[in-house]
Amino acid sequence: MMRHYSFSRWDVLPFVAGLLYTLAFAPFDYAYLALIALALLFASWQQCSPKRALLRGYLFGLGAFGLGVSWVFVSIHDFGKAGVLSAGVLTSLFCGFWALFPALAAYASAKLTAYTPDRWAGWQMPIAWLAVEYVRSVWVLDGFPWLHSGYAQLATPLAGYVPVFGLYGVGLLVALTANAAVTAITRKAQRVALLLAIALLWLIGGVLQTVRWTHALGAPLQVSLIQGNIAQDKKWRPEFKLETLNFYKTATEAHWDSAVVVWPETAVPAYLSAVYDGFLKPLEQAAKSHHSDLIVSLPVEGDSEQIRFNAVMTLGRSSGLYKKRHLLPFGEFQPWQPVSAWVLQSLGIRMGHFTPGDADQTLLEAGGYPFVTTICYEDVFGALGLNGVPAAAYLVNVTNDGWFGDTLEPHQHIQMAQMRALETGRFLLRSANTGRTAIIAPDGHIVSQLPLFTATVLTDTITPMTGLTPYARWGDIPAMMAWLVLVAMVIRPGAAVRG
């Protein structure tokens, strides 16, 4: 038994693969490492027991999440005011929790081996991988799609499939490619066919990149995105409130020649009722007189003291209010009550308490066109705003990545925003408090952006778009149907056909 459970190079390999996997994402952007890392991971799962596969999957997760999302330490320690030890423990628990999901995929894959015919041996691995990744990204703690393999493919030919199948479809193709490469090495009889299949798959992706699924709806609009770079530890302190408001007011007044001016998430450090009459209403009147529209973000009070919303408001030729729907776990609400609240209070960590907005909200309008609004990490969920895409001419995301300092997080986050633009075939305006503020084109490329930690304004033009990509029309249904077809081909649940 001791010899059976002793570590070997195949146990170390998944941890190294996990580290390589993280390097596929921004800001490193070695996209093909995602394929190599998954190929190494799948190779380590072959012909091993479920328990050994579980271990190897967990080691992969520790490498990937331990490097890739360790930025949560900055949020807990620097801004949550937890001590180094407490922040370190919570960060380790956070990374260790998400590492459970590759472990679960590995365990499921090993269990499914018994129900996989010899000719499909090994193909249960991408099936298990995508299923667990989908659960992690959509359901667990309201979803955590960070380090999903599809996000690393924006600069590869597989990006051509994004407007068709979305993030999860591309993630499935990444896993299938990685598994095909492993199978081609281990099964000489299938090598040529598999290599040709990989080449064809990627060639089609390259061809799809030349397809333009959407088209211009009107003349280009000049837009200005304000990056306030307000330090997180000063943002809500009363003595800095006037300085903050004056900055946004002055920056806005200097760009009334733009059709749309966008402020980042909670740029106004006060509730709407406290600042509308004396601060926002004069700006609204000025916007109207200059034929411009202002998109601001601020907290909004509800009907009682216990109800408050993280919101975006339009002022100018058209006025409206959007209330954030998908709240941030532990940051804007506390799941697993009452345990989570007790732990945070014991550590002296203060977190916000917000109420989610309604699922069906009227689209806001600015520059003469309606747009889909997302606040903060709402933009990492592709399906969230799809209902509004048919009527929307562009997308707007306001965020504040200042919680994470100079870490990997701001770069990973904007990479996810790029995916949303590509999925919908729309320009995306991204106004971030500390950066990266950017304008993203319908093909997912960044048109222009501001550097991190600078207080300045990005002014450029966008084109209102119309038309629907297949993904905007059907959402994740095609990707899930493709997964189900693969399951039907590979898995035989009636009896154990392989020992």
pLDDT digits (tens, 9 = 90+) for 269-323: 999 999 999 999 999 999 999 999 999 999 999 887 778 999 999 999 999 999 9
**Residue 329: what pLDDT?**
77
State the pLDDT confidence band at 80, using cuts at 50, 70 and 90.
Answer: confident
State the pLDDT confidence band at 75, using cuts at 50, 70 and 90.
Answer: confident
What architecture is domain 216-468?
4-Layer Sandwich (3.60)
Q: Using DSSP bridges, classify how beta strands 369-375 and 215-216 pair: parallel, antiparallel or unpaired.
A: unpaired
pTM: 0.93
Q: Which of 48, 323, 324, 409 is catalytic?
A: 324
From 457, 42, 87, 10, select the one nearest 254 (Cα to Cα).
457
pLDDT digits (tens, 9 = 90+) for 50-60: 999 999 999 99
- Residue 376 region by backbone torsions, left for phi larger than 0, else alpha for psi between -120 and 50, else beta: left
**Residue 342: what pLDDT?**
44
Q: Which of 235, 376, 409, 423 is catalytic?
A: 376
**Residue 499: what pLDDT?**
46
For residue 315, the cross-strand partners are 294
Asked if residue 4 has pLDDT above 90, the reply is no
Q: Which residues contact 378 (CB under 8 A, 6 or more apart)?
A: 324, 325, 326, 384, 385, 397
Residue 305 identity (one-letter amino acid): E
- 265 is annotated as an active-site residue: yes
Residue 432 identity (one-letter amino acid): A
What span, in angstroms and rounded, lies between the C-alpha atoms of 293 and 316? 5
- 376 is annotated as an active-site residue: yes
Residue pair 469/421 in contact by the 8 Å Cβ criterion: no
Measured CA to CA in angstroms, residue 12 lies from 9, 59, 186, 422, 445 at distances of 5, 8, 20, 37, 36
pLDDT digits (tens, 9 = 90+) for 188-245: 999 999 999 999 999 999 999 999 999 999 999 999 999 999 988 788 888 999 999 9
- 324 is annotated as an active-site residue: yes
What span, in angstroms and rounded, lies between the C-alpha atoms of 261 and 222? 9
pLDDT digits (tens, 9 = 90+) for 332-382: 655 655 544 544 454 444 556 789 999 999 999 999 999 999 999 999 999
Q: What residue spans in the chain does CATH classification 3.60.110.10 cover?
A: 216-468
What span, in angstroms and rounded, lies between the C-alpha atoms of 149 and 498? 30
Q: Which of 95, 133, 235, 265 is catalytic?
A: 265
